[in-house]
Amino acid sequence: MDSEQLRENAHKMVDFIADYYKNIETFPVLSQVEPGYLEKLLPDSAPNHPESLQNVLDDVQTKILPGVTHWQSPDYYAYFPSNSSTAGFLGEMLSAGLNIVGFSWVTSPAATELEVIVLDWLAKMLKLPEHLLSSGQGGGVIQGTASEAILVALLAARDKVLRKVGKNSLPKLVAYASDQAHASMLKACQIAGIHPENIRLVTTDSSTNYALSPDVLGEAISKDIAAGLIPFFLSSTVGTTSSTAVDPLYALAKIAKGNEMWFHIDAAYAGSACICPEYRHYFDGVEEADSFNMNAHKWFLTNFDCSPLWVKDRSALIQSLSTKPEYLRNKASEANMVVDFKDWQIPLGRRFRSLKLWMVLRLYGLENLQCYIRNHIKLARHFEELVASDSRFEIVVPCKFSLVCFRLLPAHNDQDCGNKLNQDLLDAVNSTGKIYISHTVLSGKYILRLVVGAPLTEERHINAAWKVFQDEATVLLGGV
């Protein structure tokens, strides 16, 4: 790496990216290209000789950006957000610049120690219980994604129970979550070797706004115990993916503890909201958690990827994931004086992710972060009111955080007709390129999901988005 060449080219790249953000509203939010478009535009082998950065940037502008869906656009409302910010970007830049691989403390002490400190800071902001902090038996670790966080928690729980009941009991282990839990829970069970028939995705319905019912869960557990099975893991969610349902943590924790199960909380999206005192009550019961994850890369201004996980008993994780090959031995690790995060995760190598979270916390501060979350929730409520004011639409579940679940009502009360109508509406609004939303299905109904969470979204964008829905609905309903 030639430092002067880096300086010159990195300045050009920063200019390019700054211009991208300046013009971001001019792009169709959802990429409008057809599959295979890029193969037609690029040569079929790499160049023999170096090209100029300008040539590459020209290609990015003309060939790559048309195939980009603009997650940072203020008109992006799909799935859940994946925030970028100046602080998060600078942290990523610094991490790329240093480019260390901090698997053991010795490979870059600052990487491990900053991660421990920053996750303690964040745990305090979320008012997580003391036992999840590094001062006790627990602590935090940054995983790449919530899927990895859930998997490692499940592996620790599995091995903990198997140490007690014997390895041969693996086919008897049962894991529980609601049918609204993210698919990563199912994937984690598949990877962990949980028998497919022993994965209970407990049915939810509109009577609990799609939250997991402790009674229904209790019945399922009792039935399994009576059948000689071993309940070992309960994953609850604060802010489910489809509709941001919040599982009743206290009651669920009580059941989990009563049955000696590992109690996990997945707050991938909604965790960020709990830095605001008025939303913290959704976390009541977290005191009982064995593990807890949230995604700072979703709604917390930290560029992808950054998925903090806290555990109550770090030794459970380490017993499942630790390896000690000769070529990684070093004095600090041998003396048990340090944290080696390689033993808290699946891969060996790990990025210096705490830098960007540290930048976000320091350059914005708690009060600004709270305002950021509150503003999105206010904008979502504003959108919800707009939808509620038009009798052609209905709100399907009340908005808790910044997701609005709604649908266009069909002329006749026919579910298939309603589903087709809303699929058509989704396709119509997304193909305008003006906004991008996604969908879900709840109780057999196809539902539109609009999540406010892109850092650049303002009230004018929400009003413009609503106009797109109104106009397209008018066309679909035959008004034009």
Least distance between ligand PLP and beta carbon 302 (Å): 12
Least distance between ligand PLP and beta carbon 9 (Å): 31
Positions touching ligand PLP (CB under 6 A) are 80, 145-147, 182, 184, 237, 240-241, 266, 268-269, 295, 307
Pairing of strands 199-202, 230-237: unpaired
| Nearer CB in complex with ligand PLP: 112/243 | 243
Least distance between ligand PLP and beta carbon 182 (Å): 3
The overall longest dimension of the chain from CA atoms, in Å, is 76
| Nearer CB in complex with ligand PLP: 118/142 | 142
| Nearer CB in complex with ligand PLP: 104/345 | 345
| Nearer CB in complex with ligand PLP: 91/239 | 239
Least distance between ligand PLP and beta carbon 239 (Å): 6
Q: Which residues contact 64 (CB under 8 A, 6 or more apart)?
A: 38
Least distance between ligand PLP and beta carbon 350 (Å): 16
Least distance between ligand PLP and beta carbon 480 (Å): 36
Least distance between ligand PLP and beta carbon 237 (Å): 5
| Nearer CB in complex with ligand PLP: 107/147 | 147
| Nearer CB in complex with ligand PLP: 217/408 | 217
| Nearer CB in complex with ligand PLP: 393/401 | 401
CB atoms within 10 A of CB 251: 17
Least distance between ligand PLP and beta carbon 26 (Å): 28
| Nearer CB in complex with ligand PLP: 93/267 | 267
Of 339, 317, 320, 315, nearest to 106 by C-alpha is 339
| Nearer CB in complex with ligand PLP: 174/268 | 268
C-beta separation of 212 from 236 below 8 A: yes
| Nearer CB in complex with ligand PLP: 156/473 | 156
Residue 256 zone, left/alpha/beta (φ > 0; ψ -120 to 50; rest): alpha
| Nearer CB in complex with ligand PLP: 230/270 | 270
Least distance between ligand PLP and beta carbon 185 (Å): 8
Least distance between ligand PLP and beta carbon 418 (Å): 25
Three-state DSSP string of the chain: CCHHHHHHHHHHHHHHHHHHHHCHHHCCCCCCCCCCCCCCCCCCCCCCCCCCHHHHHHHHHHHHHHHCCCCCCCCECCCCCCCCCHHHHHHHHHHHHHCCCCCCHHHCHHHHHHHHHHHHHHHHHCCCCHHHCCCCCCEEEEECCHHHHHHHHHHHHHHHHHHHHCHHHHHHEEEEEECCCCHHHHHHHHHHCCCHHHEEEECCCHHHCCCCCHHHHHHHHHHHHHCCCEEEEEEEEECCCCCCCECCHHHHHHHHHHCCCEEEEECCCHHHHHHCHHHHHHHCCHHHCCEEECCHHHHCCCCCCCEEEEECCHHHHHHHHCCCCHHHCCHHHHCCCCCCHHHHCCCCCCCCCHHHHHHHHHHHHHHHHHHHHHHHHHHHHHHHHHHHCCCCEEEEECCCCCEEEEEECCCCCCHHHHHHHHHHHHHHHHHCCCCECEEEEECCEEEEEEECCCCCCCHHHHHHHHHHHHHHHHHHCCCC
Least distance between ligand PLP and beta carbon 438 (Å): 10
